[in-house]
Structure 1
Amino acid sequence: MVDIIGAGFGRTGTASLRDALEILGYGPCHHMTEVIQNPGTAARWIAALAGDSSVLPGLLGKYRATQDFPGALLWREMTELYPHAKVLLSVRDPKEWYNSARATILNQDLRRHLEQAVLPDARRMAETLLSLTDAMTARGFPVDHGEQEAIASFERHNEAVRAAVDPDRLLVYEVRQGWEPLCAFLGVDVPDKPFPRGNEAGVFAGKVRRLAAGESDSTS
């Protein structure tokens, strides 16, 4: 049963938040890496993004939390499906978000790497990721937009979450804030370990290139 719904766009510290939530006992946490590791789920995520929310219980049955895409684009459906769940909106400075996204999830060079995959396994994975990205774009993710339009989409998304979710149920959060506001929101003790940090832009780009080349990647 999902207890925490991640509503923040990718590149707002969602990998760090996934790791933090799992340290706090809210695991497993669904993240885009789960789709990469289990590409058979992509078709149902695409269906959910197209409006069939009936597939979500099956997709999320084993998870206690969600972060990142594609779930962040389905926050409305999940808040209805899991009315007890808290909503975690991860944010960052819009310009910083765009710069990070432009180097990773909005990087058209990385998309071309996927489009040019040749080896059969790599090609199947690339087609899965490209189809999912197209479904996310149709849902409002600004893949092909310039800086101004992408930042506007990012800000519209965040404002929509703020406007729709009860403030008692919502935490608007930046990962640089560390453990304290997150733990206070969840009502748990602050762990005696550093807040996790990970998934820098260069690491992300390397993952995409390895996938396109058909190389295995066990990192998250």
Structure 2
Amino acid sequence: MALKVIGAGLGRNATFSTKFALEHIGFGPCYHMAEVFASARRNVPLWLDVVNGKPDWDAVFDGYESTTDYPACSYWRELADYYPEAKVVLTTRDPDSWFESVSDTIFSEAMQGHLVGTPTGDMMQGAIFDFFDGGDIRNRAFMTDWYAKRNQQVIDTLPAERLLVFHPKDGWEPLCRFLGVEVPPEPFPRVNSRDELQHANSEEEGMAKTPEEAEAFGRRYIDELRAKAFRS
């Protein structure tokens, strides 16, 4: 199964909402960082191979038709080359809002600190943090400038007919038109606010430390958010 949609938007850019939206209109299952955790014993070694320059994209995305979120979004260029028929969706938001969101959630010491030196920590270092080229992820000016330049690079690299720059507030119409499918009657899914992720993190006392804990967390988190996704 080849990927049909590649999510180039960085984490904390409505990637969970977009995951559920893509699945709802026929482009699922959709890969997301939560899926990495949900099958951590299988997925983390595959991503460590990616980090070490030995990607097996067919194995990584076996059974999936689309992607959103980290770690796949870090490799948007490689995936666009490997799956030349796939369309690319770049979810965006205000750079300062993105910086505040990632700082309070997925880049926070509370979530990342205890992963240092573990396979999951090594994966996240290579697939996320190394892309900042040694810049200070706590520095607002550096991060917002990096964010804007990175998104512009996606826009400048891909042909317009292959790329949709998108925000869920735009609703179903632009996404469905871009992908050539009917607009569903349900409201566009809205999930995974900062408060929800921080609450999940506080319950877990940081990102899960063992593969077994990671898998239990990932499966539970996906199921809980899917149940909320289409509530109006």
Q: TM-score, normalised by structure 2?
A: 0.83
Q: Quote the residue 1:130 is aligned against.
A: 121
Q: Distance in 1 between matches of 2:120 and 2:132?
A: 17
Q: Distance in 2 between matches of 1:56 and 1:65?
A: 12
Q: Quote the residue 2:16 is aligned against.
A: 15
Identity of aligned residues (%): 32
Query: Out of 114, 132, 137, which is 1:140 matched to?
Result: 132
Structure 1 residue 129 displacement after superposition: 3.0
Aligned length: 209
Q: Distance in 2 between matches of 1:8 and 1:167?
A: 16
Distance 1:152 1:132, change over 3 A: same
The CA deviation string for residues 37-83 of structure 1, in whole angstroms up to 9 with x for no partner, is 11121122122134323x11111121100000000001111111110
Q: Quote the residue 1:111 is aligned against.
A: 112
Q: Distance in 2 between matches of 1:147 and 1:42?
A: 30
The CA deviation string for residues 106-133 of structure 1, in whole angstroms up to 9 with x for no partner, is 2123223556xxxxxxxxxx93432222
Q: Distance in 2 between matches of 1:89 and 1:144?
A: 21
Q: Distance in 2 between matches of 1:27 and 1:199?
A: 19
The CA deviation string for residues 155-186 of structure 1, in whole angstroms up to 9 with x for no partner, is 12101111111111000011111111111111
Query: Out of 144, 147, 157, which is 1:154 matched to?
Result: 147
**5+ residue gaps, structure 2:** 223-232
Aligned 8 A contact 1:39 1:128 in 2:
no
Q: Quote the residue 1:44 is aligned against.
A: 46
Aligned 8 A contact 1:49 1:74 in 2:
no
Give the CA RMSD over aligned residues: 2.0
**5+ residue gaps, structure 1:** 116-125
Structure 1 residue 105 displacement after superposition: 1.5
Q: Quote the residue 2:180 is aligned against.
A: 187
Q: Quote the residue 2:28 is aligned against.
A: 27
Letter in 2 for 1:44: L
Q: TM-score, normalised by structure 1?
A: 0.87
Aligned 8 A contact 1:113 1:212 in 2:
no
Moved over 6 A (4+): none
Letter in 2 for 1:27: G
SS at match of 1:219: helix
Distance 1:96 1:144, change over 3 A: closer
Q: Quote the residue 2:227 is aligned against.
A: none
Letter in 1 for 2:44: A
Q: Distance in 2 between matches of 1:153 and 1:11?
A: 15
Query: After superposition, where does 1:163-202 map in structure 2 within 5 Å?
Result: 163-202=156-195
Question: Does the alignment pair 1:96 with 2:97?
Answer: yes
More deviation in 188-197 or 130-139? 130-139
